[in-house]
Structure 1
């Protein structure tokens, strides 16, 4: 199969808002993919590389060769080329990687060049996530969707499941089971704006969701502290321990304290779910990137541990001594976790009182934590999905910032001005400095309005960005602020999304760097590692 088939399908998927149409387009391509190209094709369509990053960044892609006029590159060729890039290391590898990159891109058409560059830097956004990819795999293979979903959660790999389904059908999918030491896609939580509304959604309470009355029929739920750290999945088989992140990256060698904890448990084989975080003296959490810098570092583990020790909080157990617990209710899994690791269980309460749940939320937020996760005690572990049995609640922080520039949209947003650059005024200099960017939260109507508005404010442009007069104020919701070396203000927004444009405010009335820094906390208390991690959502269209 030529790469252009994948590119054209990707563009068609990005251009439609219909989920059914996306599934049909993907299924049609997968159904005619060769046996040898299933894994690569599925990876490419999902916006990922089969073997992870290959050492190619933005700098290598600034100057592209003249594109080819006809598509000739096959998916198999690109897959082999990526494998060769990933294997390059040592002296001279940078030059070899650059030469190999130019050699392939010289054979690519303009559309293929754009696709490959976005794929290489992780900015291919086309709507082909698991929510549509797994149904497409099921349709292409003619198998039950629930079977595909379960196989995906247990294998931790959509391309692997696509290969099994397309080559072996239902029998091959049924053979995929949870294996200790093989990462499982984690269960995720949906969001709710308030604790009361989360409780209402879980137990079907009637009346005003803001009411703090007791829950109907004394239905109890678990309310767990939501730690702002790194999600970890811990596997132990005898003396062997594997620790992976939410994205299933292996970080075992960087977290010796978690390895020690796992080996000390009174079990032989276990799979645990939890969160690792760096704490200040007294127990308050360090800013997120302190933890991120520790888990992302590759130095001497003992030195890293001494410099920035991590605490792990466990909140679930998926397998215990030969017994898979995924389908057991949370109440059973919590009891087993409490039995084997009582000193590492995450702070929580079990309650049937909305008032008690709210008081617990207020307490953990006051202690510097991110919020809570409200969990139904009768639900199984919905691995790889945002299960309705887990609902996260976090306080929302809003700021009025100034738009400094805006980027040209791509995919479905092609032809619009989409990703906005956000600035806050430095009260010491009076200058507006960039603190982040986002395209999250924009409706079609907002995109149309801002394209017109920012065209009117344009002062300069290039192929990627339109510079604008710093006049338009926008209200932004964020989860928090962290240290960043990327922006001149030294801070960056976490998970920024647009709420509305403020025509009632001038740029002089917008929030300042000091306002954001107050949310960030005292920089002197951050400890080591600050500045090593960048903003959590470097958004790009």
Structure 2
């Protein structure tokens, strides 16, 4: 198949809000693919090419840009092969070869294909084909039940491979896809609620469990072989030898555990999130040890537990790893749920997850059986600068530089503003247009990518907390910051202070 056909389909999908229209367009494309193209195309359609990022930056893409081809001739397989070559070309002297591969690729592409290729290489691809929509399209194209396709994709962790099996295999082969120890499955996800009591109303009797501020892990053990995967199904076994040793000591032969890992201080309290992630992301063993806490078990000694109720899975988990079971209580009383939530916060954790006690483990799904509850903080901060956007935000000012008021001059000039982070999250198209015009009106200077402005615009920002950071003068950075609204009713002198934000740091 020509790559242009796939590109045109992604444009059609991105241009409509109709889920049915998206599914129809994607299914029509999937039916016309050659078998070898199916996994590649599914990866591109979901903005997750099977090679991942291949180490090509904006400057390399810009340098490779050529006059577009007059007629389409690139195929999906041609593009896949080029990505393979880019991924494999590394080491001394590889720069020239990678540049040549890019130039050849771009010269063979039409203008729409060039934009698509750049989006893939830079990780800025927006296709409008969320995995749920694409899963429905695979079912439509293959004439298989959507539940069968969804379950196979979840248990294999591979939508592209599932699409190939659904389209080219038999119904029995699709149904035979099951849980395999050593092969990660997509993790079950949680909805959100404003309070533990409200969450309990949605679930009924539930296990109310601490929500830890750590890294999600899925641990597979078969005999003495232990593998550890992230929530994105990446293998990080070599980074967590302490967890491997612990799981090898559990009284089982085969097991799949779901949980979190985090760094603890000398008193057993959680260390700041960035310390966990620094250690979690290290290929070399560090001094900081990560402690695992498990909240679910999916398989034990030949017995799959996905379709068994949470109550059964908790009993098994308490028997297998009682010392590493995440804290929580089973209750139908909203007052008890709120108490557990307050206990979790007092212990330095994020909040709680409320889980229906009779629920099955719905791999990869975000339903109403698991509900997370954690406080969201909002603060009024001042815009100090704004960076020009890229991709679909090209030509608009997007990424905000945010500052907190420093009335006493503890980190600079008295009454000045201390930068505490950046965000481009939560900005609607309307806000993007407004701030692009507004910030150029109050511009004081600019660099190639950033417009610096008078510190007079107050914006309400929602955050999950702050973390220690040497990047900014105040020693903190915002966590998961997103724009709520601009506060034209507030003067910059009414913004929240750096001292208020620093008080969120855990002791």
Q: Answer yes or no: same fold by TM over 0.5.
A: yes
The match for 1:405 is: 386
1:329 aligns with 2:329: no
Matches within 5 A, 1:270-289: 270-289=255-274
RMSD over equivalenced CA pairs, Å: 2.6
Deviation at 1:456, TM superposition (A): 4.7
Deviation at 1:417, TM superposition (A): 5.4
* More moved, 488-497 vs 116-125: 488-497
The match for 2:485 is: 500
In 2, distance between residues paired with 1:46 and 1:133? 7
Q: 1:308 aligns with which of 272, 276, 288?
A: 288
Matches within 5 A, 1:67-78: 67-70=67-70, 71-78=72-79
The match for 1:477 is: 462
State the SS of the aligned residue for 1:519.
Answer: coil
> Contact 1:141–1:169 (CA<8 Å) still a contact in 2?
no
TM-score, scaled to structure 2: 0.91
Q: 1:250 aligns with which of 232, 235, 256?
A: 235
Provide the aligned length of Structure 1 versus Structure 2: 500
Matches within 5 A, 1:70-469: 70=70, 71-203=72-204, 220-299=205-284, 301=285, 304=286, 307-403=287-383, 404-405=385-386, 407-408=388-389, 410-411=391-392, 418-425=398-405, 427=409, 428-430=411-413, 432=417, 434-443=419-428, 446=431, 449-450=434-435, 453-454=438-439, 456-457=441-442, 468-469=453-454
> Contact 2:27–2:137 (CA<8 Å) still a contact in 1?
yes
Per the alignment, do residues 28 and 179 of structure 1 end up closer, same or farther by CA in structure 2, a change over 3 Å counting?
Answer: same
1:30 aligns with 2:30: yes
Per-residue CA shift, 1:320-364, capped at 9, x if unaligned?
A: 111110000100111111111111100111112211111111111
Deviation at 1:147, TM superposition (A): 0.7
Per-residue CA shift, 1:419-444, capped at 9, x if unaligned?
A: 54433356432465554443433456
Per the alignment, do residues 354 and 139 of structure 1 end up closer, same or farther by CA in structure 2, a change over 3 Å counting?
Answer: same
Per-residue CA shift, 1:130-186, capped at 9, x if unaligned?
A: 121111111121211111110111001111111111211533321211111000000
In 2, distance between residues paired with 1:425 and 1:378? 49
> Contact 2:68–2:114 (CA<8 Å) still a contact in 1?
no
State the SS of the aligned residue for 2:322.
Answer: coil
State the SS of the aligned residue for 1:248.
Answer: coil
Per the alignment, do residues 11 and 167 of structure 1 end up closer, same or farther by CA in structure 2, a change over 3 Å counting?
Answer: same
Q: Mind listing any 5+ residue stretches in structure 1 that lack a counterpart?
A: 204-219, 523-541
State the SS of the aligned residue for 2:323.
Answer: coil
State the SS of the aligned residue for 1:28.
Answer: helix
Per the alignment, do residues 336 and 44 of structure 1 end up closer, same or farther by CA in structure 2, a change over 3 Å counting?
Answer: same
> Contact 1:409–1:419 (CA<8 Å) still a contact in 2?
no
1:509 aligns with 2:494: yes
